Amino acid sequence: MALYFAYGSNMLAARLRARCASARMVGRVVAAGFDLAFDKIGQDGSGKATLIAGGPGVQGVLFDLAAADLALLDEIEGLGRGYDRVMLDLDGQRAMAYLAPPQFRAPGMLPFDWYLGLVLAGARQAVLPADWIARLAAQPFITDPQPDRPRRAEALALLAGLPARLATGPRLRDMQGTAARPPQTDHAGPAPEGGALHIHQHWTGLPASARGASVAMGNFDGVHRGHRAVIDAARAACDAPLGVITFEPHPREFFAPEAPPFRLMNAEARANRLRRLGVDHLYQLPFGAVLAGLTPEAFARDVLVEGLGVAHVTVGQDFFFGHGRAGDCDTLCDLGQRFGFGVTVAPLVGEDGRDFSSTAIRQALAEGRTRDAERMLGHWHRIEGEVLHGEKRGRELGYPTANMSVDGLHLPKLGVYAVLADVLGGPHKGCWPGVASLGVRPMFGENRPNLEVHLFDFDGDLYGEHLSVALVEYLRPEMKFDGLPALIEQMDRDSAEARAILSAP
């Protein structure tokens, strides 16, 4: 047997096994000291992946191959005709890889859409780090000018046979040939809607179609980057529908009902976010005395096995469950072996030695650090809800606003924000830049916080519509003015500043 490091389209297990039947995935590794380029000259005239020396490291997949398959892989990869085979030291293991020598590279070349789709699918299947997948998703590409090319047909057939959550990317391209952002990123509006999300409110009485999923389990408040790492691991764990188990109300609300609101999003917003991530089933389990009283063993038996019939369970390494938080990841692994379901413990995700967490995001928002929150979330912090009737004072001032409740949510720093507001339905559906005031309106002597959103260049009625408002930049704190002229002057300045921020590249 021989170890082989795949970093391009061969990361997709089905593609490599179609070429080398003996291929067996060993794990994920990093080729330190290299960078990734797509400028190897392919036989079809497009750019293919290659390693180049002098970089921060390339993420990839380590496979074990039978010796008999080496000659076959050499022929497929074009040994001596485009690639050289080299030996690399990967985390203490010697593995072969294919690199393009300089004479077979042409800077500026771009991959075909279908080829990049295979690379992305392989990276997602192997649950490579989210920032690496985001880099691949941002890789420019070109459309294959020969739609009947056999290699293209083979690639699209292979992608079509994968779960949709693995095969998103350049295959669903825009016409300019620029790869779309990954589904979890929405700097300029929410990610495209995913497929149907089936929401289940209990673990009993489920239809057969809702059982047997590979599930990620946790509270998922905010659905931040750490949460998505758990969901991605569940997606890759086995060939089964993707599910998420969460709890409503949040256990913290059950055990401390008098505590101040802390949630980053309500249940509806969380479901919308999970839908965009391609989740098939959301098991929103009712958290009360019954669920809180189950021992870890009873929870695994009654809920996971008898109720949901899970195929696989993925949790973060800081996960606890059962009465009194008596169960941890080791407990879950033991119960998985006992009851016959797989378990994956996803490592914590963070930067600069700090894990991404809902607590850290709440702190950033409380201090008005919207971009720090965005970095941890992987998307702008959003407030979602129905547009309510207000006092219509904004209309009288020349700044009509859509009023939204923030009841039950953690309050970011009160003040004025530059925002991107998505109207989620109706005749005005779309994304609008704007400016919003989050606060208690001290000018008018009120003390109940709400969100008032003014959309730039908008003319219409939004009452009853649902908005998703992204807090992009904190502009200033709440202020009380001497009179309406001073208030209007400040609103003019706020609008000008917000327009400048939102129009910046």
Taking only the tens place, the pLDDT of each residue in 158-190 is 887 766 555 544 433 332 233 222 333 343 344
Q: What distance in Å separates the CA atoms of residue 119 and residue 102, rounded to the nearest whole number?
A: 22
Q: What is the pLDDT of residue 368?
A: 97
Predicted confidence (pLDDT) at residue 13 exceeds the cutoff of 80: yes
Predicted pLDDT of residue 180:
28
Mean pLDDT of 143-170: 75
- Give the mean pLDDT of 434-438: 96
Instruction: Identify the pLDDT of residue 485.
Output: 86
Tell me which of 446 and 67 has the higher pLDDT: 67
pLDDT computed for residue 181 by the predictor:
28
Mean pLDDT, the chain, whole residue set: 87
What pLDDT, on a 0 to 100 scale, did the predictor assign at position 129? 86
Instruction: Place 59 in a pLDDT band, splitting at 50, 70 and 90.
Output: very high
Q: The dihedral of CA 270, 314, 194, 358: what is its sign? A: positive
Question: CATH number of the domain at 381-503, please?
Answer: 2.40.30.30
452-466 confidence digits (pLDDT tens): 999 999 988 898 899
pLDDT at 174: 30
Among the listed residues 374, 384, 452, 473, the single catalytic one is 452
Cα gap 211→275, rounded to integer Å: 18
H or E element at residue 230? helix 225-237
Q: What are phi and psi of 414, to 5 degrees?
A: -70, 140
* 3-state percent breakdown (helix, strand, coil) of the chain, nearest 5: 30, 30, 40
Residue of 346, 343, 273 whose CA lies nearest to 312: 343
Task: Specify which of 107-116, 272-281, 441-450, 475-484 reaches the highest per-range mean pLDDT.
Answer: 272-281
Q: Which CATH class is domain 2-172?
A: alpha beta
- Beta strands (DSSP E) in 91-154 are 93-99
- What is the pLDDT at residue 289? 94
Give how far Cα 258 sits from Cα of 253, 255, 413, Å. Answer: 8, 9, 21
Query: What stretch(es) of the chain map to CATH 3.10.490.10?
Result: 2-172
Find out whether 474 and 381 touch, Cβ atoms under 8 Å: no
Task: Report, as an integer, the average pLDDT of 56-68.
Answer: 91
C-beta neighbour count of 71 within 10 angstroms: 10
Average confidence (pLDDT) over 133-162: 85
Q: What is the pLDDT of residue 446?
A: 58
Q: For 317, left (φ over 0), alpha (ψ -120 to 50), or beta? A: alpha
In this predicted structure, what is the pLDDT of residue 184? 34
Active site residue 452: yes
Domain with CATH 2.40.30.30 in the chain: 381-503
pLDDT at residue 68 is higher than 90: no
The yes-or-no verdict on residue 480 having pLDDT over 90 is: no
Is it the case that residue 206 has pLDDT exceeding 90? yes
Average the pLDDT over 470-492 and give the result: 91
Name which of 23-27, 60-64, 186-190, 278-282 the model is least confident about: 186-190
Percent of the chain with pLDDT over 70: 90
What pLDDT digit, counting tens, does each position of 346-377 carry? 988 888 888 899 999 999 999 999 999 999 99
Kindly tell me if the per-residue pLDDT of 327 is higher than 60.
yes
Classify residue 182 by its DSSP letter: P
- For residue 353, what pLDDT is reported? 80
pTM beyond 0.75: the answer is no
Q: Identify whether 249 is preceded by a cis peptide bond (ω within 30 of 0).
A: yes
| CA–CA dist 225, 233 (Å, integer) | 12
Q: Which of 16-20, 377-381, 464-468 has the lowest mean pLDDT?
A: 16-20
In this structure, which topology does domain 198-351 adopt according to CATH? Rossmann fold (3.40.50)
Lowest mean pLDDT segment, chosen from 198-207, 394-403, 488-497 = 394-403
Q: What is the pLDDT of residues 106-127, one digit of tens each?
A: 888 899 999 999 999 899 888 8
Determine what percent of the chain is predicted with pLDDT higher than 90. 59
Helix, strand or coil, per DSSP, at residue 463: coil
- Residue 225 in this model has a pLDDT that exceeds 60: yes
What are the start and end residues of each CATH 3.40.50.620 domain in the chain? 198-351
